[in-house]
Amino acid sequence: MKTPRLALMPLMVFAIAASLLLQACNTTAGIGRDVSAGADAVTGSAERSKGY
């Protein structure tokens, strides 16, 4: 029995949306790590530069 194309459309849309959301999560996590590493570097530099 053939499944009509219209019945598969919601499944296809869900699969595409899920893959885009998962990619966005990885990108956001990577940006968060990069920003955190940059903040740690600035904090370390400021601590070393203190004169007291």
Q: Give the model confidence (pLDDT) of 4-37 as tens digits.
A: 777 888 899 999 998 888 887 778 788 888 899 9
- Cα 52 to Cα 46: distance, rounded to the nearest angstrom: 12
CA atoms in the 13 A half-sphere facing the CB of 46: 6
pTM over 0.95: no
Q: How high is the pLDDT of residue 3?
A: 66
Separation of CA 9 from chain center? 26
